[in-house]
């Protein structure tokens, strides 16, 4: 294919031309392709086929073989006009072949409303040198269709409402000039469809309402220019849809309301430009959609209101550039944003999601999970290894944060602790101090369990002292004060400890040679208890009036009471000041 020329010159010679197959033409056409400096870069010789001669073959119902020929101003519009045939009447083309054919037209090369009746049709290596090209409403019937290595130099190409039949359709390595490329309402049959390594250049491209029914549709390594790429309402009723390493330009990329049915869809390593990208309201009935290591440029990216109820959507290692990313009100079974760079606003207020993976990602702006207009029903979120430079907007109760973390089946206690730590710091920066305390408690609980398990794993004998130590820490730090996050819990614990010591001061004299100096042997149990409660108070709070003295071994309990009182008051002071200062 010759596509790097600036101008071309055509010369028709009187000398005959014979093709490799032995077909003879009366005239030879020489075409010189020149660059912008008018230097010849390519030269071809072809047989000259007059358009009227082709029209006669159509009249006679004969096979049409245009291989290795030059054809000027071919148009079925002119054919119908010259034969008084009504517009849009279908014209049958039998056994059509146009391998290495050069079409040249001042206005348009027109195949609109034609019917290719043979099993296999080829335009391979053909060149449409000038003028628009139209195959509008053409029927290619059954059999393959080869548009590989085609040059559409003008760029205005119309395949709208085309019926491609059930054979393989290939546009591999084809090159479109700058113009409007229209595949709107086209219907591809059961054969595979290939646009691999196709160059679409800077014109607008429309696949609006196009239907694909083949096993595989591939745009792998295709390159779109800066025009709008529109797949709005397209239906991919296929087994596999491939956009791997596809390059989209700076125009808008529109996949709104596309039906992917249950196809395996891949946008891995796809590169998007700086225009808007939207997959809004797309539908997928189940399976995988992978967009790993994709690059999204500067425009906003929308996956809003997608219907992926049974779909796993993988965007791992994607770079979303400087645009906002939105999954607002979407239904996705599993969404993976693992190891992504989330540098701008991300709306993760999904209407429904079983599992959201944010592990190892970097969040530099706002990640919004907080419900507003509707409940955000996300069952599990993985924050493990996330580097949060910005903020996550979520609410402890409305988002059921505790369940989001504990429902993770594959993360360890250490990883869960780390996630609660990340959220604790996030809540602090957002001024959600009550939520910060709740995250901190869960962080400390998981950290304590992780330390316990790690210690026992290193030394199994340590179970003898590790479990008692763990129990003591949980009693003192967790149960008694929720890690100094609840002054009321500390007050409640003080009350329990206070009456516990009072009970001990009452009971111990019955089982040992001990007493309080104020108690009399003939006093009732409750009189002794209230005296013991008074003594506990002046000892616990280190007042020490001295009007009641412990006698016997019970004196050692007094030391413990005083220490416990000092400790618990300090505990209360820390918890209370922590609340007040915030």
Q: Kindly report, residue by residue over 538-579, the tens digit of the pLDDT.
A: 888 888 787 788 888 888 888 899 999 999 999 999 989 888
What is the pairing mode between strands 325-326 and 307-314?
unpaired
CA dist., res. 390 & res. 342, Å (int): 9
**pLDDT band at residue 305 using 50, 70 and 90 as cut-offs:** very high
Cα-Cα-Cα-Cα torsion 497, 498, 501, 505, nearest 10 degrees, comes to -170
| pLDDT at residue 514, as a whole number | 76
Pairing mode, strands 40-49 and 28-34: antiparallel
3-state helix, strand, coil in the chain (%, to 5): 25, 30, 45
Residue closest to 313 by CA, chosen among 323, 324, 325 = 325
pLDDT at 158 over 90: yes
Q: Write out the E strands in 338-468.
A: 341-342, 346-347, 352-357, 362-363, 366-368, 377-382, 387-388, 391-393
Binned at pLDDT 50, 70 and 90, residue 170 comes out as very high
Terminal C-alpha separation, the chain: 72
Beta-bridge mates of residue 46 = 29
Give the whole-angstrom CA distance, residue 399 versus residue 517. Answer: 59
Do residues 271 and 248 lie in contact, with contact meaning Cβ atoms separated by under 8 Å?
Answer: yes
Q: In degrees rounded to 5, what are phi and psi of residue 443?
A: -60, -50
Whether 121 has a pLDDT exceeding 70, the answer reads yes
Contact 26, 32 (CB under 8 A): no
- Distance in angstroms (rounded) separating the CA atoms of residues 316 and 360: 10
Q: What is the pTM of this model?
A: 0.85
| pLDDT for 520 | 56
As a whole number, mean pLDDT of residues 124-151 equals: 92
pLDDT of residue 505: 87
State pLDDT tens for residues 263-289.
999 999 999 999 999 999 999 999 999
What confidence score (pLDDT) does residue 521 get?
58
pLDDT at position 518, please?
66
Instruction: Grade residue 24 by pLDDT with cuts at 50, 70 and 90.
Output: confident
Tell me the pLDDT of the chain averaged across its residues.
91
Q: In this model, does residue 104 exceed pLDDT 80?
A: yes
The confidence band for 367, taking pLDDT boundaries of 50, 70 and 90, is very high
Two structure tokens written together for 266: 């891949």
**pLDDT value of position 142:** 79
Give per-residue pLDDT as tens, 445-478.
999 999 999 999 889 888 888 899 999 999 999 9
pLDDT > 90: what percent of the chain? 74
Quote the pLDDT of residue 553: 84
Helix, strand or coil, per DSSP, at residue 559: helix
For residue 307, give the 3-state DSSP assignment: strand
Residue scoring higher pLDDT (370 or 530): 370
Tell me the CA distances in angstroms from 308 to 254, 287, 302, 515, one per residue in order: 18, 9, 14, 75
Q: Is the pLDDT of residue 340 over 90?
A: yes
Kindly provide the residue ranges of all beta strands, DSSP E only, lying in 26-101, ordered along the sequence.
28-34, 40-49, 63-65, 69-72, 91-97
The whole-number pLDDT of residue 519 equals 57
CA distance 113 to 90: 5
pLDDT surpassing 80 at residue 411: yes
pLDDT, tens only, 469-513: 999 999 999 999 999 999 999 999 999 999 999 999 888 888 887
Is the pLDDT at 525 greater than 80, yes or no?
no
Q: Which has more confidence, 326 or 579? A: 326
Q: Is the pLDDT of residue 360 over 70?
A: yes
Residue pLDDT, tens place only, 378-403: 999 999 999 999 999 999 999 999 99
Exposure on the CB side of residue 367, measured as CA atoms within 13 A: 23
Q: What is the pLDDT of residue 522?
A: 58
Work out the number of other CB atoms within 10 angstroms of the CB of residue 361.
Answer: 25
Domains of the chain: 412-461 (no CATH), 487-581 (1.10.287.70)
**Partners of 515 in the β-ladder:** 551
Residue 377 pLDDT grade (very low, low, confident, very high; cuts 50, 70, 90): very high
Residues in the chain: 582
What pLDDT does residue 494 have?
92
pLDDT band (50, 70, 90) for residue 235: very high
Query: Please, how many CA atoms are within 13 Å of residue 62, restricted to the half-sphere of its CB?
Result: 10
In this prediction, residue 523 carries a pLDDT of: 67
């Amino acid at each position: 294919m010759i596509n790097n020329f600036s101008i071309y010159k055509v010369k028709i010679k009187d000398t005959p031309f014979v093709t490799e197959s032995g077909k003879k033409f009366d005239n030879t056409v020489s075409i010189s392709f020149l660059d912008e400096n008018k230097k010849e870069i390519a030269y071809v010789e072809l047989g000259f086929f007059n358009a009227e001669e082709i029209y006669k073959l159509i009249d006679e119902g004969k096979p049409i073989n245009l291989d290795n020929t030059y054809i000027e101003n071919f148009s079925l519009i002119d054919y119908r006009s010259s034969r008084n045939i009504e517009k849009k009447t279908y014209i049958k083309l039998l056994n059509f072949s146009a391998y290495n054919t050069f079409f040249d037209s001042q206005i348009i090369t027109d195949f609109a409303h034609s019917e290719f009746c043979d099993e296999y049709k080829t335009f391979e290596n053909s060149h449409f040198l000038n003028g628009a090209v139209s195959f509008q409403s053409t029927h290619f019937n059954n059999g393959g269709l080869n548009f590989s290595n085609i040059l559409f130099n003008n760029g205005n190409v119309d395949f709208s409402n085309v019926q491609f039949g059930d054979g393989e359709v290939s546009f591999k390595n084809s090159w479109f000039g700058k113009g409007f490329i229209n595949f709107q309402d086209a219907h591809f049959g059961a054969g595979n469809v290939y646009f691999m390594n196709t160059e679409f250049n800077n014109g607008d491209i429309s696949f609006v309402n196009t239907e694909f029914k083949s096993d595989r549709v591939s745009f792998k390594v295709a390159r779109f220019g800066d025009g709008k790429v529109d797949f709005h309402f397209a239906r991919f009723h296929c087994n596999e849809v491939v956009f791997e390493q596809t390059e989209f330009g700076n125009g808008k990329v529109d996949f709104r309301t596309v039906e992917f049915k249950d196809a395996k869809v891949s946008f891995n390593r796809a590169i998007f430009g700086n225009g808007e990208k939207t997959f809004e309201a797309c539908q997928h009935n189940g399976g995988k959609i992978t967009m790993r290591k994709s690059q999204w440029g500067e425009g906003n990216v929308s996956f809003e209101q997608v219907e992926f109820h049974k779909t796993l959507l993988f965007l791992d290692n994607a770079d979303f550039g400087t645009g906002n990313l939105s999954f607002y009100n979407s239904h996705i079974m599993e969404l993976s944003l693992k190891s992504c760079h989330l540098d701008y606003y991300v709306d993760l207020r999904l209407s429904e999601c079983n599992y959201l993976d944010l592990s190892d990602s970097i969040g530099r702006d706002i990640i919004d999970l907080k419900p507003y207009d509707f409940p955000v029903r996300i069952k599990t979120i993985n924050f493990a290894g996330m580097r949060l430079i910005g903020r996550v907007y979520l609410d402890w109760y409305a988002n059921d944060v505790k369940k989001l973390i504990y429902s993770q089946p594959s993360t360890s206690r250490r990883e869960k602790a780390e996630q609660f730590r990340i959220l604790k710091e996030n809540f602090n920066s957002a001024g959600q101090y009550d939520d910060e305390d709740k995250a901190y408690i869960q962080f400390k609980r998981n950290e304590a369990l992780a330390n316990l398990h790690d210690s026992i794993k290193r030394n199994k004998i340590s179970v003898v002292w590790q479990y008692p130590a763990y129990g003591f820490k949980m009693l003192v730090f967790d149960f008694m004060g929720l890690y100094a996050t609840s002054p009321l819990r500390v007050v409640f614990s003080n009350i329990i400890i206070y009456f516990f010591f009072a009970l001990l001061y009452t009971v111990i004299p019955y089982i040992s040679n001990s007493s309080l100096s104020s108690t009399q042997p003939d006093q009732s149990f409750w009189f002794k208890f209230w005296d013991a409660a008074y003594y506990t108070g002046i000892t616990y709070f280190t007042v020490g009036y001295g009007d009641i003295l412990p006698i016997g071994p019970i004196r050692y309990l007094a030391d413990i009471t005083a220490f416990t009182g000092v400790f618990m008051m300090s505990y209360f002071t820390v918890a209370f000041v922590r609340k007040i200062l915030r």
